[in-house]
Structure 1
Amino acid sequence: MSRRFEAYIVIAQQEWELNLGSNARNMAVEFSKTKPVLYVNPAIDIKSIFKQIGTDHGRKRLKLALGFGKNTIKISETLWVHTPKTISYSINWLTNVFIYDFLNRRNGKGFFRSLKNAINELNWKTENCIVLNDSQMFTGLFTKKYLQPLLSFYYIRDNLIEHPYFKFHGRRIEPLTIELADAVFANSAYLADYGRNHNQLSLDIGQGCETDMYEANASYKEPADLGAISYPRIGYVGFLTGERLDICLLEQIAKAKKDWQIVLIGPEEMMFQQSGLHSLTNVHFLGSKKPDQLPSYIQHLDVCINPQLVNELTVGNYPRKIDEYLAMGKPTVATDTPAMKMFIPHVELAVGVEAYVGAIENALQPQRVEKKNSAINCAKIHTWETCIKNIFKIQNQLLDEQLYPAIILSQKY
């Protein structure tokens, strides 16, 4: 067995085209600096076809799934994106395990058949490719069976089995998928510990952030919609979802401190749209912004917050926005969770409205230069380059084991 390999395959949860700032996308770009990379979009399922058929994007996805169009496109000299030529059964509602497993296997066959064709078109060999599976637990169960790559890694960035979509079947299938992986990587110690319950080689590789676009000492023009809001501005930047954020806490803070302006920047899902926050005069929804606009919004906030719910879904979550806040040198308050401990003393941690109000009041005090610079430096060390280097260490050890099978390297475990 040669330790040389040809390419990386990144099996993603999110479509490349949506550009939602996914970890898999960032890691694929970083991998592509050393080897060719094929980023694989999730397969479209029957339910999604009916939901999206009225949109241009949905019609495009359906055509590609049926084989009309170019399923593999070149993004750069070393990066390609593949949209599978297959339609998956929508099966997560099934409670019959036998029927579910049969159809899930069919879904896996279709997905990996399309992927193998793409690999062949690129003149690669599957046995010379390394797979990074971005928590695609159901499809990923069949990675070795239907693809047979050189190595297969499983990546955990969320406790997804606590999400309603994944919960029922995920609790029994994800452990099997983790067990079959050659190594498991996570973006927090909490999630790495979870992975280690099912695979001894489970490691926290840290979290990356595109901190280069966040320059605390630059002068960004104040956005017009933010400029219309008075001070002090207490802001959150990111997806507004009631599954992860504490709507009740935000309402309590806004009511307790009516002179504070609560600024929420990002797309809303239904729970936020229907919440009482919209009736409060000191709560402002500014909507979605492009990634390159975010530094200007963050710079013109007084305090940044992450009012996260504490539940099984979020307890091990590493919020990327914390690095974005700190990279801009902003005083930051966040919910106290195990994953947030690593940011002490750069972030004020709190639980409950009284603690949050007190922490925000502290954060509104004049900021010491040395504390600001220390926070910026903390964020700047959380890079994708570091994450990938941590993967490389384990990858090379595993390749060495394949090259020299008589050498027992168990001491690293």
Structure 2
Amino acid sequence: MQKFDSIICVGQTTWEGDFQKAVVQLMRELSVRHRVLYVDYQHTAKDLLMGVLGRQKGVPVKTMVGLTDALVTKEGKDGSEVYVWQPPVMLPINFLPATAHDRFLPINAGRLVRQLRRVMKQLGFMKSLIINGMHPVLGMAMLGKLDEAATIYYCFDEITISPWMREHGGRYEPDYMRRVDAVITTSDALREAKAVVQPRTFCVKNGVDFPLFSQTYELAKTAKSTTVRPIVGYLGTADDRVDVQTVEHCVRTMPDVDFQFIGEIKEPAITQRLGAYPNVIFTPPHQPSLLPPLLARLSATMIPFVCNAHTKTIYPLKINEYLAGGLPVVSTPFSNLSDFDGVVPLAATPEAFAATLRNALNDTAPDRVQARIDMARANSWAHRAEEFEVIFSSL
């Protein structure tokens, strides 16, 4: 059993953003008991150009050109801090065919490793635990080059279905999983799939920033008194996982209820088919800290995902974010949601979904509200971080 004082997480997502990210939440929690260095999203030269031209949001142009520090500290939990480092500009190679991609990959990885080692020396990070956040391509190229004590592959989606990662990520993931010390997934379905390749595969499900989202309940006492019509809400990115047919049926057959999407819309059919209805509201993404007041106006929430091979592997972040505020949740049976039996009703057809939503609007008994809040509290990121620690402490 090893004790890891320092953790380096190579992320596949930016630290900042308009939505909660599993890997970021975990690193914030782990920073309470460990020194944590988060390697931020590896922006390419193309990203830099688009950022300079104002065509791409979220690109840290000043940092990438050396006008601001690449290494900063961010707030963790309970007074802790996380080091967040913006890596050097990468070559855009993901679009290349396999042979060309693999020829240029060592250039990107070598540049990143050289500068990361300097940061590690500056911070005194030695024999660290490396957590790779869903980037097996870069992980393979970096393996064994950071004087690491152990490496964990943190897999929170099915990479072979992801449009951006499936071509090269699908090639690299099996070999990478065989060579790391452990794999941690966010759903039972993912664990079962990855365990075929790496026997040391574990499941730590997504959690919730309970202190933040539990604010919804208190805010709702005031917000709902000013709400004229009931509102059913959907929080987060709305993409091809959303069953538009089911939502449209609910919108059409429940004209006395408003349906609000809070977040980015990535599936055109959602706006094309639902935008014509007067009881559909589209609200742009908000910083996480601004979400509780929006959620407080909701009467019920929904997770109307299609049922397919992709969604089968999902344990949705939003389910516990809804529950932390005491809000009723209705979901399709897209994945194994047995953890929520008795608290989150499932509906498999458009007609059943609408009927279950109608019931949810009246599911306001104090004991039911408290059951939802208690379930979310048990699924907090603080508890998930403890589960994570049990696994890597055994390596």
Q: TM-score, normalized by length of structure 1?
A: 0.86
Size of the aligned set, in residue pairs, is 390
Q: Deviations over 1:240-297 (max 9, x none)?
A: 22x2222232222211222222122223236267522111111111322332332233
1:346 to 2:349 alignment: no
**For the Cα contact (< 8 Å) 2:242–2:305, is it kept in 1?**
yes
1:300 to 2:297 alignment: yes
Alignment map for 1:6-405 (pairs within 5 Å): 6-18=5-17, 20-55=19-54, 61-75=60-74, 78-85=81-88, 87-95=89-97, 97-125=98-126, 128-213=127-212, 214-215=214-215, 217-220=217-220, 230-241=228-239, 243-269=240-266, 271=268, 274-398=271-395
For 1:152 and 1:50, the matched residues in 2 are separated by 33
Q: Deviations over 1:77-114 (max 9, x none)?
A: 642111112x322223223x222222223222222222
Q: Give SS of 2:121's match.
A: helix
Q: Report which structure shows greater RCO (CA 8 Å, sep ≥6).
A: 2
- Using a 3 Å threshold, how does the CA distance of structure 1 residues 61 and 219 change in structure 2: closer, same or farther? closer
For 1:206 and 1:121, the matched residues in 2 are separated by 34
For 1:323 and 1:283, the matched residues in 2 are separated by 24
Q: Give SS of 1:101's match.
A: helix
Identity, % of aligned positions: 23
Shift of 1:3: 3.7
- Greater shift in the superposed pair: 374-383 or 250-259: 250-259
- Greater shift in the superposed pair: 46-55 or 251-260: 46-55
For 2:340 and 2:270, the matched residues in 1 are separated by 31
Shift of 1:216: 6.0
**For the Cα contact (< 8 Å) 2:236–2:264, is it kept in 1?**
yes
For 1:278 and 1:350, the matched residues in 2 are separated by 24
Q: Deviations over 1:90-143 (max 9, x none)?
A: 223223x22222222322222222211111121322xx1111111012111123
Shift of 1:28: 1.2
Counterpart AA for 1:388: A
- Greater shift in the superposed pair: 194-203 or 362-371: 362-371
Q: Give SS of 2:38's match.
A: strand
Aligned match of 1:406: none
Q: Which runs of 5+ in 2 are unaligned?
A: none
Counterpart AA for 1:392: E
Shift of 1:58: 6.8
- Using a 3 Å threshold, how does the CA distance of structure 1 residues 78 and 332 change in structure 2: closer, same or farther? closer
- Using a 3 Å threshold, how does the CA distance of structure 1 residues 366 and 130 change in structure 2: closer, same or farther? closer
- Using a 3 Å threshold, how does the CA distance of structure 1 residues 153 and 308 change in structure 2: closer, same or farther? same
Counterpart AA for 1:137: P
**For the Cα contact (< 8 Å) 1:158–1:314, is it kept in 2?**
no
**For the Cα contact (< 8 Å) 1:132–1:155, is it kept in 2?**
yes
For 1:103 and 1:33, the matched residues in 2 are separated by 38
**For the Cα contact (< 8 Å) 1:49–1:58, is it kept in 2?**
no
Shift of 1:236: 1.2
Shift of 1:6: 3.7
**For the Cα contact (< 8 Å) 2:300–2:357, is it kept in 1?**
yes
- Using a 3 Å threshold, how does the CA distance of structure 1 residues 189 and 292 change in structure 2: closer, same or farther? same
**For the Cα contact (< 8 Å) 2:208–2:380, is it kept in 1?**
yes
Counterpart AA for 1:239: T
Shift of 1:319: 1.1
- Greater shift in the superposed pair: 2-11 or 34-43: 2-11
**For the Cα contact (< 8 Å) 1:223–1:297, is it kept in 2?**
no
For 1:366 and 1:25, the matched residues in 2 are separated by 33
Q: Give SS of 2:37's match.
A: strand
For 1:78 and 1:212, the matched residues in 2 are separated by 18
**For the Cα contact (< 8 Å) 2:51–2:61, is it kept in 1?**
no
For 2:255 and 2:363, the matched residues in 1 are separated by 21
Shift of 1:304: 0.7
- Greater shift in the superposed pair: 211-220 or 355-364: 211-220
